Structure 1
Amino acid sequence: MKKILILSTALTGLASAAHADLTVMSWGGAYGEAQTEAFVKPFMATTGIKTIMVDSDNPATPVKAMVESGNVTVDVANIEYADAIRLCDEGVLEPIDIATLPAGADGTPAADDFLPGAVTECAVSTDIWSNVFAYDTTKFAEGPTKVADFFDLEKFPGKRGLKKGAKAVLELALMGDGVPASEVYAVLSTPEGVDRAFAKLDTIKKDVVWWEAGSQAPQLLADGEVAMTTAYNGRIFAAAMNEGKPFQIVWDGQIYENEMFVVPKGAPNKEDAMKFIAFSTSTEGLRASAQQISYGPARKSSMATEIIFKDGKTVMAPHLPTAPENMTNALETSSEFWVDHDAELNERFQAWLSQ
């Protein structure tokens, strides 16, 4: 039986995987578990190819390093949308022909079945996920309902968890300061807007506990280290559904985007990598993923029938970022903005942290 290794860690962790025929990077945690059930196990059953999933905090970093060093040991990686655009522009990724992707279960060509933006020159969406904030319902008699509440330490006292980085934090700050989602990037594109975002963050800075890996956010909430925290919506959903945690998501001000499968330039098993992506991003693959974790499928045909959580009774639609009721004040991440401004804003962010 041929082996496929689904791998994601640092470069030092890849050496042991050198014997494997195919290597794929993903993020681990509840997300990695969902992908194992939705993609890996069915792929094994269908193809007879042994598949192993290992996790990483951010697969884009080692992918870039491997391609630049000329020592590519990964065939598929799961990375954020902005990273997929940037790495494609830099020549780090292989192009993916949308014509090679399967039609929807209803026969709709892939080009028409995928939601707008879900397939780019070098990437295919695995799901639509969201940065949200959530709170422990045992901490407040009446919980927060608006993004502004995240910054209201008087009405909702307690520590706040925030991801340690500029992306999605600056946008949250502006929305918390009253900027409508539709105007966030116009404001953030100006020096005054950047100053405004950091000024809003200043109001809670002394009460922030910073997190970096996706698994840390729900853990901070579970341990009582924070009263509310930003998090990936699927992590909060998994903690509530699988572990019975008293967590509640606030969808107001959510920041959503596509997560993407990519193939690094020079992947040793490019042909098999493309097969894995086609299988996983089919109608059935994306629907199966949404049955495991509350990230929305990027194909219309995947949503054509009701999606039920793996418990067999929970209807997933209300828990997905793309549910109409969750999109009232939602912001789609601008990959173009972050491709252009990531370096400068993160430099400013790190300087602000050290102040």
Structure 2
Amino acid sequence: MKKLLILTTALSTFAFAAQADVTVMSWGGAYGAAQTEGHLKPFTAETGIGTVMVDSDNPATPIKAMVEAGNVTVDVASVEYADAIRLCDEGVLETIDMAALPPGDDGTPAAEDFIAGAVTDCGVSTDVWATVFAYDTTKFPEGPKTAADFFDLAKFPGKRGLHKGAKAVLEFALMADGVAPADVYTVLGTPEGVDRAFAKLDTIKKDVVWWEAGSQAPQLLADGEVAMTSAYNGRIFNAAIAEGKPFQIVWDAQIYENEMYVVPKGAPNKDQAMQFIAYATSTKGLRQQAQHISYGPSRHSSLKEPLIFQDGKTEMGPHMPTAPANMANALGSDFQFWVDHDAELNDRFNAWLAAN
């Protein structure tokens, strides 16, 4: 490990103190493991700077509390795109200099190598992920094919799993009710559209098992507590491919977005945190993560060669949200909509959830 030399002039002695590890807060489960294997371990191996991974159901919440309390113990956090924008606007995050990010391995400047919108004032994209739904093929050999099927309890009986929150649930309900992806946020931006989304959710409310952590969704399927569930696509991929579970993703009405690395304001190891982000979001770093979980790299240069899963045989491309076949009826999450409406829609969601 690198050492920091401290000169104590009053005693005229020298002492050595070990540099603190870079603490990264992420979502745990298969995703946290992919970041550990793809980013943390190789970063430490190349730089000698130690790293520690800590888990959270949603890292945006604790890092905001830390900054507000003036007691920041995390150096890097993995947060959703809308949260990266909102927290940046609120002054919770350090700014990130695009010029400090390395060019692609093919020499393309970072500003051109990242996909559109992947770098913001305070965040850098680590991947493109999606909320999808999946089912147990032993229960439905023919399987559901559309978002509408998720809500059809007569044709596909059984409990449903849904994330306990408004985001991605309300959009999914509207698409299942026939709203085209291009119109979802226009509809959801009206009182009538919000009512329509909740009316659709009413049709399955009594049969829903709510999950909060990403690891819970595949576990609900594995335990037989639900017949189908919304989930993060990478979690289902890992359960199916790495663990051999009989799970199938339905890509219809997938909702995709960028995940972002950010640095909380007052991070104890800010310089090393920025060094970590530059490494993790390099061509190499993004490819390394994508070999452990089926989320799409956010640099063009990371996609110039086929990506193979850690099993050495599964090509990752067809399993990623950005595969052309998976984008047929996809919705890009509107970060500005959720920056503007997150509080009010979650208040409405929680009130609806509590009502009989």
TM-score interval, smaller chain: over 0.9
Alignment correspondent of 1:37: 37
1:70 equivalenced with 2:70 (yes/no): yes
Alignment correspondent of 1:25: 25
- Kindly indicate whether the alpha-carbon contact (under 8 Å) linking 1:126 and 1:298 is maintained by their aligned counterparts in 2: yes
Q: How does 1:235-314 map to 2 (within 5 A)?
A: 235-314=235-314
Alignment correspondent of 1:342: 342
Q: Which runs of 5+ in 2 are unaligned?
A: 4-18
Alignment correspondent of 2:117: 117
3-state secondary structure, aligned to 1:184: helix
* Deviation (angstroms), 1:49: 2.0
Q: Could you list the per-position Cα deviations for residues 74-93 of structure 1 after superposition, in whole angstroms to 9, with x for gaps in the alignment?
A: 11111110100000000110
Give the residue type in structure 2 aligned to 1:188.
L
In the alignment, the residues of structure 1 paired with residue 151 and residue 303 of structure 2 have an alpha-carbon distance, to the nearest angstrom, of 35
- Kindly indicate whether the alpha-carbon contact (under 8 Å) linking 2:21 and 2:49 is maintained by their aligned counterparts in 1: no
In the alignment, the residues of structure 2 paired with residue 255 and residue 342 of structure 1 have an alpha-carbon distance, to the nearest angstrom, of 16
Q: How does 1:1-355 map to 2 (within 5 A)?
A: 1-2=1-2, 20-355=20-355
- Kindly indicate whether the alpha-carbon contact (under 8 Å) linking 1:74 and 1:267 is maintained by their aligned counterparts in 2: yes
* Deviation (angstroms), 1:236: 0.3
* Deviation (angstroms), 1:52: 2.4
In the alignment, the residues of structure 2 paired with residue 73 and residue 329 of structure 1 have an alpha-carbon distance, to the nearest angstrom, of 41
- Kindly indicate whether the alpha-carbon contact (under 8 Å) linking 2:147 and 2:175 is maintained by their aligned counterparts in 1: yes
Alignment correspondent of 2:9: none
- Kindly indicate whether the alpha-carbon contact (under 8 Å) linking 1:128 and 1:298 is maintained by their aligned counterparts in 2: yes
Over aligned residue pairs, what C-alpha RMSD do you find?
1.2
Q: Which runs of 5+ in 1 are unaligned?
A: 4-18
- Kindly indicate whether the alpha-carbon contact (under 8 Å) linking 2:159 and 2:227 is maintained by their aligned counterparts in 1: yes
3-state secondary structure, aligned to 1:54: strand
- Kindly indicate whether the alpha-carbon contact (under 8 Å) linking 1:134 and 1:250 is maintained by their aligned counterparts in 2: yes
Alignment correspondent of 1:10: none
- Kindly indicate whether the alpha-carbon contact (under 8 Å) linking 1:38 and 1:289 is maintained by their aligned counterparts in 2: yes
In the alignment, the residues of structure 1 paired with residue 310 and residue 30 of structure 2 have an alpha-carbon distance, to the nearest angstrom, of 13
Alignment correspondent of 2:11: none
3-state secondary structure, aligned to 1:174: helix
In the alignment, the residues of structure 2 paired with residue 2 and residue 29 of structure 1 have an alpha-carbon distance, to the nearest angstrom, of 30
TM-score when scaled to structure 1? 0.94
Give the residue type in structure 2 aligned to 1:190.
T
The percentage of aligned residue pairs carrying the same residue is: 77
TM-score when scaled to structure 2? 0.94
Give the residue type in structure 1 aligned to 2:202.
D
* Deviation (angstroms), 1:183: 0.7
Give the residue type in structure 1 aligned to 2:164.
K
In the alignment, the residues of structure 1 paired with residue 106 and residue 303 of structure 2 have an alpha-carbon distance, to the nearest angstrom, of 12
- Kindly indicate whether the alpha-carbon contact (under 8 Å) linking 1:2 and 1:21 is maintained by their aligned counterparts in 2: no
3-state secondary structure, aligned to 2:55: coil
- Kindly indicate whether the alpha-carbon contact (under 8 Å) linking 2:26 and 2:54 is maintained by their aligned counterparts in 1: yes
In the alignment, the residues of structure 2 paired with residue 242 and residue 318 of structure 1 have an alpha-carbon distance, to the nearest angstrom, of 16
* Deviation (angstroms), 1:100: 0.6
